[in-house]
Structure 1
């Protein structure tokens, strides 16, 4: 086994979190854990940028397909028993994730839960919701408790050519319904 492979295996073994460990983290450590998971999963230049004046982004990363991920982290000390993440946090992320940070994929990660209104809003705005830092790769779209948009799976592949971020809408022909986007399944 080569040195790079040994390092990758070691990194994967270190970056496994049980929920009690996640819940015990300080909010800054939670952001760092999300950053480290992204690094582990193929985004070597993921950076923790959260803090005063972060404009709704705690972690930024570019995946192997060249997509910019903008991630807001909401840590709840009480985990699932804590307060749910609601629409106000998503309003901030939605207002800055793409326009300010130029994100292709905009995500809110929490160790807690989301309100039903937050899930509906996320779905309507193409925001992705992750309930816990997944054990499986975050940047490859292969984990379970995620929203795409809302709840589902994150985008596993890049958008079609000429469609940066996979979210450019095509005008529908008069009297017809737009075809679903092949990448997200959302109406265009």
Structure 2
């Protein structure tokens, strides 16, 4: 017990000695600071400014990084949600919502300057923008019943819009299919005809440019390909 008491006493004395040394050192620094304040104050101010500026810069960098991460996460989530839209949900959209949907898909694929221009005086265009390679594009969007068909005259209207807007590429996007003549008109004139089957591919991740490689193909099963030409021309 006596040995333990002596150890505690020695430890307490060491703590007291360190405390006294700290107080003396702190007091000495304070005295020197006051005495030499006229000399060192510019350095103190400059050091404080550097520390403050560094802390502020670090805080701004961190905030910017967090904002970018949140924006990237939001964009990924939006892309996933867009890919999960079924064609049944697309069929339930209004005309304006369908145009917005097409704009989302274009932006997802890296198209730039994409914007809606649809309306009563749209000059045959619903969406304008640039493809990832910089070419100007004009898009016509038609959200029709799957039982309807796109006639040739609507393809011809889009060809006029391509000239009017001085676009390099014309795209016709629809929730239904094209008649035989309208499909041939599109392919022969370089119009990317995105019918219902291709729209499903585009919605599920295929790029807009890749749809140009299968232009004129698809159009559903044999039942879908049976058309009454005199009805739609």
Tell me, what secondary structure is at the counterpart of 1:46? strand
Deviation of residue 11 (structure 1)? 2.2
- TM-score, normalising length from structure 2? 0.57
In structure 2, the gaps of 5 or more residues are: 1-67, 219-233
Number of matched residues? 145
In structure 1, the gaps of 5 or more residues are: 153-188
2:99 counterpart (31, 44, 55)? 31
Tell me, what secondary structure is at the counterpart of 1:9? helix
Deviation of residue 104 (structure 1)? 1.2
CA contact (8 A) 2:112 2:132 kept: no
Task: Write the deviation string for residues 22-55 of structure 1: whole angstroms up to 9, x where unpaired.
Answer: 1111111111110111112212431011111111
After superposition, the Cα gap between the structure-2 partners of 1:118 and 1:107, relative to the gap in structure 1 and judged at 3 Å, is: same
CA contact (8 A) 1:129 1:151 kept: no
Match of 1:116 in 2: 180
Cα-Cα RMSD: 2.3
Deviation of residue 125 (structure 1)? 1.1
2:156 counterpart (84, 91, 99)? 91
- TM-score, normalising length from structure 1? 0.69
Match of 1:181 in 2: none
Match of 1:6 in 2: 73
Please state if 1:20 is matched with 2:88.
Answer: yes
Q: Distance in 2 between matches of 1:145 and 1:126?
A: 11
Tell me, what secondary structure is at the counterpart of 2:96? helix
Match of 1:125 in 2: 189
Match of 2:133 in 1: 65
CA contact (8 A) 1:23 1:111 kept: yes
Tell me, what secondary structure is at the counterpart of 1:45? strand
Query: Which structure's relative contact order is higher, taking Cα pairs within 8 Å and 6+ residues apart?
Result: 1
Runs of 4 or more above 3 Å deviation = 143-146
Match of 1:106 in 2: 170
Deviation of residue 5 (structure 1)? 4.1
Superposed, which structure 2 residues align to 1:156-175 within 5 Å?
Answer: none
Task: Write the deviation string for residues 65-122 of structure 1: whole angstroms up to 9, x where unpaired.
Answer: 111111000111x2x22x100101011111121x111111101000001000001111
